[in-house]
Amino acid sequence: MPDPSQFFPEVNRVIHEPARLAILTVLSACRSADFVFIQRTTGLTKGNLSVQISRLEEAGLVTVEKRIKKKKTLTTISLTRTTRGELARYWRTLDQIREQAIAGTMSFE
């Protein structure tokens, strides 16, 4: 079976996952957001959101800051300095794939 990557450019797999892409989209439109805000905007469950944020933090795409206020943990998440560039590159790659796919479809017609 041929390797699909020889036809299409490689996308960042960490960003490509829909839940993580939704989190990064929210964070790219603001400076920082807390856990509740991301949960309410994306509609993710607490457990799923927590796992996805950990994955993004491991990949160095977000920074997580935890503070204790009135015996409650406040989690604030923001993008790292390089993530906006990574996201822009991701969208460009998707555009390239779409253009290639359209060109491929047209060549068959």
Beta carbons of 61 and 42 less than 8 angstroms apart = no
The candidate with the shortest Cα–Cα distance to 86, out of 32, 24, 22, is: 24
DSSP string, 70-85: TTEEEEEEEE-TTHHH
Does 50 sit near other proteins (CB under 8 A)? no
If the CB atoms of residues 32 and 100 are measured against other proteins, the closer one turns out to be 32
- The CA distance from 31 to 90, in Å, is 20
Question: Closer to other proteins at the Cβ: 57 or 75?
Answer: 75
Asked if 95 is part of the footprint of other proteins (rule: CB under 8 A), the reply reads no
Q: Smallest distance, Å, CB 108 to other proteins?
A: 28
In the complex, minimum distance from the CB of residue 65 to other proteins, in angstroms, rounded to a whole number: 12
Give the footprint of other proteins on this chain (CB under 8 A): 17-19, 22, 25-45, 48, 76
